[in-house]
Amino acid sequence: MRIMKQGTGLVMGVGLLLLCGAAVSANTTNYEPTWESLGNYEAPEWYEDAKLGFWVHWGVYSVPAFKGDHAAEWYGRRMYQKDGQSQFNRAYAQHRHHLDKYGDPAEFGYKDFIPMFKAENFDADLWADLCIRGGAKFFTMMGVHHDSFCLWDTKLSKWNSVNMGPKRDLVNEMAKAVRKRGLKFGVSNHSAWNYMFFQWNHINQYDAKNPANQDLYGNPVYPKELAEARFREGETRGEWFERARNTVTPSQRDLDRWLARTKELADMYQPDLYYFDWGMNPPAFESRRKEFAAHYYNNAIRFGQGAFGSPNVVLNYKNGSTFKPGSAVRDFERGGMDQIAGMAWQTDDCVYDDHNWGYVPDTPIKPTNQIVDQLMDIISKRGVLMLSFAPKPDGTFPEEQKTMMYELGDWLEACGEAVYSTRPYVVHGVVGEQWGKRNEHGVKLYESTIEDVRFTRNKANSVLYATMLKWPGEKLVLETFKGVDLSGVKFVSLLGTDGELLWEQTEAGLEIQLTKEPSYGMAYPIRIEFETRIPAPAKTMPRGERK
């Protein structure tokens, strides 16, 4: 009997172990909507190799194409804000413009721009070709912005580009064109902030009060004391702004609708990258954020893209607290990391300066060399750049934006070896005094000097690329290699040119004699090939290994 008990206990123990093993196996096969499970994630190699992707801000807001004193893609929010209903009255320009050009928002609302968004000259194949011509390795299509007008054939709302406006599934057309050319395809979803975006439409009782428009304008919960939307006595504009922002909340319907549409977009097009703006940051979205992440990663596993731990897709998030570190890819809007990161990350930026992202006629764009300099800074720290362009409402790109794509592509054709499939060196480079300073609006400026150098290397760690962001003249001195044994240097050259460069090791570091400045005229990568491995700078090498 005792033996039977022992045997039974053994059998039960083995059974429990088998059950536990089965549970562990299940948990390591598919993701669960918990931070612990989602933490089993790594960014895909294709993404870290790509370095550059293109993106667009394109939608109904491209029709009015008026930024006033903020951003063109925010026209739908600010056209409803009356004088006194914004911090520093910033929105009054859009409201006044709307009154002058289109009339009272009660009579001509944001929804009335939709028939004017026709995309009559949109050519997905041409867009994909421009993406390749510009040197990008993935393309992210705008799926839906804050305005909640969907650019795909959603079955969850009548407010979409198949039922209205273009009468086309714009996301699907781009997905097919991009993948046909061997590029990765992403989607962009900003709809979480829809509850806040049309806040003033609701408060001022314009066309958002009509129940038929709720799937476009949302169903936010806001306090009655904000109905007048005026400042309290003694209240500063900043205090009022915080009060207004913090008291307007998404309704249960807004939250559920966001999750349903977000899943649908993933299910229909199986994107390799899914980008989110900051609208889903509030705590009310947390359970849904986790639910979607598990759903998206599991989809990738189900469709054969990857496996648990490495689903081979990218999920972007904006705020450090929105997702736990290591559960998705951190994105920085017009910014980035200051140092080399332990995991791939992303900068999203635009060809326009300041806050604007949507198309506005006759608005200057950044010089291409500034974009190239920013790209080299980002990738030197293990980042990826997703660069947004702004098509016209008919689906064509302004000529100056196409010119930038051509110039960027030409530079990458000559110098892409220092970009694609590279990894950060031990240090990311030498940063000049002007780099990363902020202007009066708080926006970082990426202005390089002859001091600025950024490092990348090949995966084999045998070739180092030292990219000069400005042409230094006849000689480059890399002080990073002061005191380092450089006897293993095999060949030094300048990408995009022929021949070997003369170099020597001096007390100052590695001195390289430069010839004539190359014709491509921006960001000049020096290629330094070693016999074996690239040596580390003396100051970063472990004690006992110093040369």
Tens-place pLDDT, residues 317-376: 998 889 999 999 999 999 999 999 999 999 999 999 878 999 999 999 999 999 999 999
pLDDT at 232 over 90: no
CA geometry: angle at 33 spanning 384 and 220, to 5°? 85
State the pLDDT at residue 88.
Answer: 63
Task: Determine, yes or no, domain membership for 32.
Answer: no
CA distance 185 to 141: 8
Q: Tokens 């939608």 label which residue? A: 59
441's tokens: 């609006």
- Asked if 408 and 477 sit in the same domain, the reply is no
Task: Determine, yes or no, domain membership for 56.
Answer: yes
| Helix boundaries (H) for 319-440 | 368-379, 399-415
State the pLDDT at residue 27.
Answer: 61
pLDDT at 200 over 50: yes
Q: Which residue has the higher pLDDT, 84 or 335?
A: 335
Nearest to 179 by CA among 138, 141, 213, 220: 138
- Asked if 382 and 435 sit in the same domain, the reply is no
- The structure's pTM equals 0.92
208's tokens: 């958002």
- Asked if 350 and 477 sit in the same domain, the reply is no
| Confidence class for position 23, pLDDT limits 50, 70, 90 | very low
Query: Which stretch of DSSP H or E encloses residue 200?
Result: helix 199-203
Task: Determine, yes or no, domain membership for 252.
Answer: yes
| Confidence class for position 315, pLDDT limits 50, 70, 90 | very high
Mean pLDDT of 404-412: 98
State the pLDDT at residue 11.
Answer: 35
pLDDT at 243 over 80: no
State the pLDDT at residue 89.
Answer: 67
- The amino acid occupying position 536 is A
| Helix boundaries (H) for 235-311 | 237-247, 252-269, 286-302
- The amino acid occupying position 83 is D
**CATH code: domain of residue 175:** 3.20.20.80
Task: Determine, yes or no, domain membership for 91.
Answer: yes
Task: Determine, yes or no, domain membership for 302.
Answer: no
Q: Spell out the residues 6+ positions from residue 527 whose beta carbon is closer than 8 angstroms to its own.
A: 417, 418, 463, 464, 465, 491, 492, 493, 494, 495
- Asked if 505 and 358 sit in the same domain, the reply is no
State the pLDDT at residue 2.
Answer: 29
CA distance 72 to 363: 11
3-state secondary structure of 119: coil
- Least confident span in 7-16, 40-49, 228-237, 257-266: 7-16
Q: Which residue has the higher pLDDT, 539 or 197?
A: 197
State the pLDDT at residue 229.
Answer: 55
- Asked if 188 and 164 sit in the same domain, the reply is yes
Task: Determine, yes or no, domain membership for 487.
Answer: yes
State the pLDDT at residue 17.
Answer: 35
- Asked if 323 and 403 sit in the same domain, the reply is yes
Residue ending a domain, choose from 418, 444, 477:
418
CA distance 271 to 185: 6
| Cβ pair 51, 100 in contact under 8 A | no
Domain count, the chain: 2
pLDDT at 16 over 70: no
| Cβ pair 179, 191 in contact under 8 A | no
State the pLDDT at residue 14.
Answer: 35
CA distance 86 to 109: 19
Task: Determine, yes or no, domain membership for 178.
Answer: yes
Mean pLDDT of 31-44: 98
- Asked if 335 and 393 sit in the same domain, the reply is yes
| Cβ pair 393, 118 in contact under 8 A | yes
State the pLDDT at residue 230.
Answer: 60
- Asked if 410 and 460 sit in the same domain, the reply is no
State the pLDDT at residue 234.
Answer: 74
Residue ending a domain, choose from 418, 437, 454:
418
- Asked if 323 and 230 sit in the same domain, the reply is yes
Residue ending a domain, choose from 418, 443, 468:
418
Q: What is the pLDDT of residues 140-193, one digit of tens each?
A: 999 999 999 999 999 999 999 999 999 999 999 999 999 999 999 999 999 999
- Asked if 450 and 378 sit in the same domain, the reply is no
- Asked if 393 and 452 sit in the same domain, the reply is no
Residue 151, domain extent: 47-265+277-287+314-418
Q: What is the mean pLDDT of the chain?
A: 90
Task: Determine, yes or no, domain membership for 301.
Answer: no
State the pLDDT at residue 353.
Answer: 86
State what percent of residues in the chain have pLDDT above 70.
Answer: 88
530's tokens: 């070693």
Q: What is the pLDDT of residues 456-505, one digit of tens each?
A: 999 999 999 999 999 999 999 999 999 999 999 999 999 999 999 999 99
CA distance 160 to 156: 9
- Asked if 198 and 326 sit in the same domain, the reply is yes
Q: Tokens 């016209």 label which residue? A: 392
State the pLDDT at residue 100.
Answer: 97
pLDDT at 309 over 90: yes
What torsion, rounded to 10 degrees, do the Cα atoms 138, 396, 118, 204 define?
Answer: 80
Cα maximum dimension of the chain: 95
**CATH code: domain of residue 506:** 2.60.40.1180
State the pLDDT at residue 77.
Answer: 94
Q: Which residue has the higher pLDDT, 445 or 279?
A: 279
